[in-house]
């Protein structure tokens, strides 16, 4: 197992639409193990492959830091089937270390995806898992959680990140 370096906001890979994962093989198993280890190390709850440098449609979730008897899951080539409701949740992102803010997203999500054995699943999620799925799915599309903010709020966050030396200061 290895802790993987996480790409930080500003890295162009985070803005690229990820491609389908064609072969689910031993390399995928070890990638997923490393992603879980990386998540655990940072006490995170979700991580998408592009964040660790691989532009493929895969993400992992681990709800154990936030709910009792939480669990891990891997989502490969996921498709969002539907969403409904509205919920506010304080989100963070490993590509934006130390940045958290409240965001509205749908309360429930239906998702179809493959597991590590290549089996297809249909899942209806709510609560924190729905939130993870929606946030991580966006990563596969090259979208980031700051995109859901107003321009003004987004600039505030970028400024904060520059002040904290998370991203380079403006030239
Ligand atoms: Zn994220």
**CA gap 1, 38 in Å, rounded:** 9
Find the 2 Cα to ligand 1 centroid distance in Å: 20
Specify the CATH number for the domain of residue 67: 3.90.45.10
Q: Is residue 34 part of a domain?
A: yes
Q: Is residue 168 part of a domain?
A: no
Find the 135 Cα to ligand 1 centroid distance in Å: 6
Q: Name the catalytic one among 22, 136, 151, 152.
A: 136
3-class DSSP assignment, residue 43: coil
Find the 68 Cα to ligand 1 centroid distance in Å: 22
Q: In the chain, how many domains are there?
A: 1
**CA gap 34, 121 in Å, rounded:** 23
Q: Is residue 7 part of a domain?
A: no
Q: Is residue 143 part of a domain?
A: yes
pTM: predicted TM-score of the whole model, two decimal places: 0.96
3-class DSSP assignment, residue 101: strand
Local confidence pLDDT in tens for the 171 residues of the chain: 899 999 999 999 999 999 999 999 999 999 999 999 999 999 999 999 999 999 999 999 999 999 988 899 999 999 999 999 999 999 999 999 999 999 999 999 999 999 999 999 999 999 999 999 999 999 999 999 999 999 999 999 999 999 999 888 876
Q: By residue range, what is the domain housing residue 150?
A: 12-163
Find the 56 Cα to ligand 1 centroid distance in Å: 15
Q: Is residue 6 part of a domain?
A: no
3-class DSSP assignment, residue 151: helix
Other CB atoms within 10 Å distance of the CB of residue 47: 28
**Has 22 been annotated as catalytic?**
no
Other CB atoms within 10 Å distance of the CB of residue 31: 21
Q: What are 163's two structure tokens? A: 């002040």
Q: Is residue 90 part of a domain?
A: yes
**CA gap 94, 111 in Å, rounded:** 23
């Amino acid at each position: 197992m290895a802790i993987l370096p996480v790409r930080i906001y500003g890295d162009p890979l985070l803005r690229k639409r990820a491609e389908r994962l064609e072969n689910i093989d031993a390399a995928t198993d070890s990638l997923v193990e490393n992603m879980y280890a990386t998540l655990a190390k940072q006490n995170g709850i979700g991580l998408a492959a592009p964040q660790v440098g691989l532009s493929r449609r895969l993400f992992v979730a681990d709800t154990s830091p936030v709910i009792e008897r939480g669990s891990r899951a891997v989502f490969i080539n996921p498709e969002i089937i539907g969403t409904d409701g509205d919920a506010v949740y304080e989100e963070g992102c490993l590509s934006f270390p130390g940045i958290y803010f409240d965001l509205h997203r749908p309360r429930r999500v239906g998702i179809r995806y493959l597991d590590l054995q290549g089996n297809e699943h249909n899942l209806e999620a709510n609560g924190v898992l729905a939130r993870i799925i929606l946030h991580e799915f966006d990563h596969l599309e090259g979208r980031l959680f700051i995109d859901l903010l107003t321009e003004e709020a987004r600039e505030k966050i970028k400024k904060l990140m520059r002040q904290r030396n998370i991203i380079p200061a403006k030239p």
